[in-house]
Amino acid sequence: MVIECFQDYESVSSRAAELVCEAISENPGGVFGFATGSTPERLYELLVTHYQRGEISFDRLTTVNLDEYIGLAINHEQSYATFMQHHLFGHVNVQPDSIHFPAAVPDPSVFEQLIQNKGGIDLQILGLGSNGHIGFNEPGSPFDSRTRVVSLAPSTIQDNARFFDSIEDVPHQAVTMGIQTIMEARKILLLACGPAKADAVARCLQGPQTEDVPGSCLQAHSDVTVLLDEAASSGLNK
């Protein structure tokens, strides 16, 4: 595991964009896993800029997203499909039939099969929940879990309420890549910023590997790069 610490969110995002651009240049026909949430927003803005400069192309990539809410229409303003379209896919030359999200219907295992058929994930981008979740794998998720329907923890619903008109509007279920699915990615890039993530970062990176802290599984992966700002790294034993 490589841990890199930076002064602020902008520096984390710039370094993340550099690494993703390198990965795309090295493997322009690869399978790239994307995450949603506020943390990767600036990363995606920078990737759009690199694309507009002609430095990278998405036209041969296959994209797979970590998760999606259940109960929101695909064009709902808070669906993750809409998020990705707004922040990245709608501004680059990714092919529409190369964009994939997990779905509860007809069967979440269809997404697993798609990943296998594409040869596996080459680079998976991750954020980190304040309770240590990755994707929507909440505390208690088995390390051998696969793509499946999950119930969201109260803390996750609370964290995501800022994106909705009220907390009552936040979906209580989602479909998510499993932890084992994520761990089978060849490379993983984890981003975490802000003081609210400091405790989760410390438990994931330096605590025991336990299903109570889903992100702690990453300690066992052979190729993980973690990018943190000063606030998120404040709980680490440096």
Nearest to 100 by CA among 91, 92, 113, 87: 113
Q: How far apart are CA 5 and CA 234, in angstroms?
A: 10
Q: How many CB atoms lie within 10 A of CB 182?
A: 25
**Residue 234 to residues 13, 68, 99, 128, 131: CA-CA distances in angstroms?**
18, 31, 36, 15, 16
Residue 12 token pair = 């984390």
> Which is the catalytic residue, given 50, 122, 133, 159?
133
138 labelled catalytic: yes
Q: Which of 65, 87, 112, 131 is catalytic?
A: 131
Catalytic hit among 67, 68, 112, 229: 67
CA-CA-CA-CA torsion sign (182, 188, 193, 196): positive
Q: Strand 67-69 and strand 173-176: pairing? A: antiparallel
Helix (H, G, I), strand (E, B) or coil at 157: helix
Report whether 13 contacts 42 (CB < 8 A).
yes
Tell me which DSSP letter residue 108 carries: T
Name the active-site residue from 122, 138, 159, 229. Answer: 138
Q: Are 64 and 115 in contact (CB under 8 A)?
A: yes
User: What is the DSSP track for 77-104?
Assistant: TTSHHHHHHHHTGGGS---GGGEE---S
Residues labelled as active-site residues: 67, 131, 133, 138
